[in-house]
Amino acid sequence: MLSLRAEILAAVLVVASLAGIPLWIVWEEGRVARSAAPGEERILTLTAIAERGIWTEEEVVGHSYWRREPEVARPVVRAGEPVTLRLKSADVSHSFAIPELDVGPFPVEPGHVTVASFVAAEPGEFLFQCSTRCGPCHEEMLGTMVVLASGESAEDYPPGLLPARTKCPLHQGGTP
């Protein structure tokens, strides 16, 4: 009888470990992403994906790297608001820069999070880019950051600053 109880307890512990540890990791990553910094600081997480030639605000992990197509990032912040960027790579070495705002370039390595802070003083829409050759879609690794003045909304900046994505074989209907 003791042997049967021990086996059941062992099976429950194994199942709890196999399910609990991944759930704890997902919860912990979400908690870090949601944590508010002191003051009015805005925390943005951007992930670079070389194969698709994009920066995205969506969480990119193993299964989502292959199964879905994340949206190109277009974060919105307020002028004068402190911004902290959490920069990640889903695949290869990248770097991140917003030249017009004198932000970066910062290296972005797979498996690591690069943290960079800045304050955008002027409103407008600013291109950000990967500044390290990362693959066949590198030239199209662009995004825009909208910096709003007091009283403005994102609707005041209609999309359109990004050039059409045509150089990457993936965007032409092929494979990179």
Phi/psi of residue 11, nearest 5 degrees? -65, -40
**pLDDT tens, position by position, 42-84:** 899 998 887 777 888 888 765 555 566 777 888 999 999 999 9
**pLDDT tens, position by position, 130-165:** 888 877 766 677 888 899 998 888 888 887 666 665
- Report yes or no: 67 and 75 within 8 Å, Cβ to Cβ: no
- Report yes or no: 79 and 147 within 8 Å, Cβ to Cβ: yes
CA distance 16 to 5: 16
Provide, for the chain, the percentages of residues in helix, strand and coil under a 3-state DSSP scheme, each rounded to the nearest 5.
Answer: 30, 30, 40
Alpha helices by DSSP H, 35-160: 62-67
In CATH, the number for domain 40-166 is 2.60.40.420
The CA–CA distances, whole Å, from 137 to 54, 64, 156, 168 equal 8, 19, 30, 5
What is the pTM for the complete model shown?
Answer: 0.67
